[in-house]
Structure 1
Amino acid sequence: MDNDFDLTALRVFHSVVRSGSFSAAARDLGAPRSTVAKKVADLESSLGVRLVERTTRSMRVTTEGEVLASRAERLLADASDLRRRLTDAGQAPRGHLRVGMPELFEQISMGPIAAHFRHRYPEITLELVTSRQPGDLIEAELDAIIAFGPLPESSLVARQLIKGSMTTVAAPGLPGLDAVRHPRDLDGMPLIDVPQHWIRQWAFVRGDEEEVLRITPVLTFGSMLTARDAAVAGGGVTKIPTILARPEIAAGRLVEVLPDWRGPAKDLFVVFPSARSVTTRLRAFLDVLREHVEAAAAARRQD
């Protein structure tokens, strides 16, 4: 196997053959169809042969493609086993680790976690990459991705890391706050939003009750941190992750609005290609990450 043989592209090609189409492989891998097509084209270019004949309506695996497909699963398994053996060979995990994660999670959590990780595993270099979608595993060639749920259906392996929630908050002296007893009472209040796909609505849950409020925000941001800071400064009511709201509430800079109502949970997951792809350095990182997450959860329960 020469240096031009791309195992990530081989994994994508194997998924295309197994699923029967580029679109189905894209769904299985959680990646854009264009990324799947490019990876297969790159593999064909590196090998100098046509692996798949495709039209706008169908695809056919060539003879060369069938030969490669028949060996791909074994090649991928052997590569994973070799990688695992190499990383397990030393007394301590070593090498380079690339992990994708949402910018917000990196900003509020990863500084001390990464420092702790480096102290414990000095032979591992850690690179954090801003990423939002599990499909970026293939496109950015990452070892794992930390992603907010819900996650799309795919063949990727996902493990829940944090059971998340959203909290509605505002500055203590915001006019009209005393009259807010129900989500509908927010109508007419100044609202600060961080929209998801430009959806202008907030959902609330209380027991079996659900309320969806269409909103017209007075301030709109692309960052939860900015929304938090605007709320602290008296700009209005906002919904932010509980992990971000709790320190401000404890310090008295924010108060919880509608404490009986919660936003839909946004759990945090760690996603990786397969169980076989978990190297010792990735396992070490996940162990440190879970330690910090569990310690933070225990501290919140004591508050």
Structure 2
Amino acid sequence: MDLLALADFNLVARHGGFGRAARATGRPKATLSRRVADLESSLELRLFERGTRMLKLTQEGRALYERTGTLLAELEEAAAAITSGGDRPRGRLRISAPLLFSQTAMGKLAAKFALKYPEVRLEVTTEDRAVDMIEEGYDLVIRVNPDPDESLVGRIFLRDRLVVVASPSLGRPTGDRAVSAVVRETGDPTTSWDVVAPGGNLRITAEPVLCLSSLIMVRDAVRAGVGAARLPVSLVIHDLAAGKLVHWGDVDGPEIALWTLYPSRRLLSARVSAFLDCLKEAFPSGTPEELAAFID
């Protein structure tokens, strides 16, 4: 297989078209098109579906891109390390992180990383959706309780748990009386929370009075006494200690686990490894208390 043709195929796949790849790299569009056509002929496979206004990977093309993209990146990094006389992190590092973690911790983490590794251009995108790492060009994603994905590997670096909290001015739930609630999700006008409390398990009937898109907003509304809410304990530890909020109990359910995910491969890039080390340094035990202390 022609390695140069394979590299040009990956270039076109990564940029989503011959014209875009040519403009991004300064390579002639005709050369890229010819190299990809030669690769298709040698493999006897169509790697792209070519429309009048769009270019799309075929199933075989996507499989080839996923299996060879990281390999080519490792070859480039190895060559750069040899020619520079070292393997220090350098180049572009793209990360996708969830909203709450980005709002509370990623700014400080990114700053520390940038100061320690000035030759890395770190780019962080905030979004809660499940991104396609290969298609969208991410080197690392951070996700909360992600669904299993055979194409990715990863590990948990932080654990948290949900608690029900409220302002001291809001009376604790008694009997079947519904309590005012601040929620993040849209849905039914009433809901129920299963809570593990010191006095035993209970079910709280919650009547949403506010629906907000950010847990930071939810916490601020709860502080103001609007209603109770389910929130990560790391987000309210300081308020509970100061008496600004009271703890009604822990939510009966699975823990919150923050994962780092990256394409499955034997060797990680120096950039990804450096960022993973940065997370380990910030959260050595991965507890909610460490996160709360970090964002204080």
TM-score in terms of structure 1 length: 0.68
Go from structure 1 to structure 2 and tell me whether the alpha carbon gap of 1:130 and 1:186 turns closer, same or farther (over 3 Å shift). Answer: farther
8 A Cα contact 1:201 1:212, kept in partner: no
* Alpha-carbon separation, structure 2, partners of 1:154 and 1:210: 37
**Which residue of 169, 173, 182 corresponds with 2:169?**
173
Give the letter aligned to residue 36 of structure 2.
L
Give the letter aligned to residue 194 of structure 1.
R
Moved more, 232-241 or 117-126: 117-126
- Matching of residue 234 in structure 1 with residue 225 in structure 2: yes
Give the letter aligned to residue 211 of structure 2.
T
CA deviations over 1:51-105 (Å, ceiling 9, x no partner) = 2799xxxxxxxxx998x79987874564143044146443521111110001110
1:11-22 matches, within 5 Å, as none
How far apart are 1:232 and its partner, in Å?
Answer: 0.3
CA deviations over 1:26-46 (Å, ceiling 9, x no partner) = xxxxxxxxxxxxxxxxx9999
Give the letter aligned to residue 225 of structure 1.
I
* Alpha-carbon separation, structure 1, partners of 2:179 and 2:79: 59
- Matching of residue 79 in structure 1 with residue 72 in structure 2: yes
Q: Which residue does 1:94 correspond to in 2? A: 90
**Which residue of 133, 138, 142 corresponds with 1:137?**
133
8 A Cα contact 1:203 1:212, kept in partner: yes
8 A Cα contact 1:205 1:264, kept in partner: no
1:287-302 matches, within 5 Å, as 287-294=277-284, 297=287
8 A Cα contact 1:131 1:145, kept in partner: no
* Alpha-carbon separation, structure 2, partners of 1:153 and 1:65: 18
Q: Which residue does 1:33 correspond to in 2? A: none
User: Which has the larger share of strand?
Assistant: 2
**Which residue of 232, 256, 267 corresponds with 2:247?**
256
Which protein is bigger by CA-based radius of gyration? 2
**Which residue of 47, 50, 62 corresponds with 2:36?**
47
SS in 2 for 1:135: coil
Go from structure 1 to structure 2 and tell me whether the alpha carbon gap of 1:125 and 1:77 turns closer, same or farther (over 3 Å shift). Answer: closer
SS in 1 for 2:243: coil
* Alpha-carbon separation, structure 1, partners of 2:218 and 2:158: 22
Go from structure 1 to structure 2 and tell me whether the alpha carbon gap of 1:94 and 1:233 turns closer, same or farther (over 3 Å shift). Answer: same
8 A Cα contact 1:248 1:254, kept in partner: yes
Q: Which residue does 2:9 correspond to in 1? A: 5
How far apart are 1:138 and its partner, in Å?
Answer: 2.7
Gaps of 5+ in 1: 11-42, 55-63
Go from structure 1 to structure 2 and tell me whether the alpha carbon gap of 1:212 and 1:151 turns closer, same or farther (over 3 Å shift). Answer: farther
8 A Cα contact 1:80 1:277, kept in partner: no
* Alpha-carbon separation, structure 1, partners of 2:63 and 2:103: 45
Give the letter aligned to residue 94 of structure 2.
R
Q: Which residue does 1:281 correspond to in 2? A: 271
Go from structure 1 to structure 2 and tell me whether the alpha carbon gap of 1:46 and 1:136 turns closer, same or farther (over 3 Å shift). Answer: farther
Go from structure 1 to structure 2 and tell me whether the alpha carbon gap of 1:210 and 1:277 turns closer, same or farther (over 3 Å shift). Answer: farther
Report how many aligned residue pairs link the two structures: 252
Q: Which residue does 1:21 correspond to in 2? A: none
* Alpha-carbon separation, structure 1, partners of 2:150 and 2:65: 20
* Alpha-carbon separation, structure 1, partners of 2:151 and 2:118: 33
8 A Cα contact 1:87 1:94, kept in partner: no
Go from structure 1 to structure 2 and tell me whether the alpha carbon gap of 1:81 and 1:4 turns closer, same or farther (over 3 Å shift). Answer: closer
TM-score in terms of structure 2 length: 0.69
Go from structure 1 to structure 2 and tell me whether the alpha carbon gap of 1:6 and 1:277 turns closer, same or farther (over 3 Å shift). Answer: farther
8 A Cα contact 1:95 1:125, kept in partner: yes
Q: Which residue does 2:261 correspond to in 1? A: 271
Moved more, 109-118 or 69-78: 69-78
Gaps of 5+ in 2: 15-31, 50-57
How far apart are 1:201 and its partner, in Å?
Answer: 4.3
Q: Which residue does 1:218 correspond to in 2? A: 209
Give the letter aligned to residue 162 of structure 2.
M
SS in 1 for 2:95: strand
* Alpha-carbon separation, structure 2, partners of 1:110 and 1:301: 11
Q: Which residue does 1:160 correspond to in 2? A: 156
How far apart are 1:144 and its partner, in Å?
Answer: 0.8
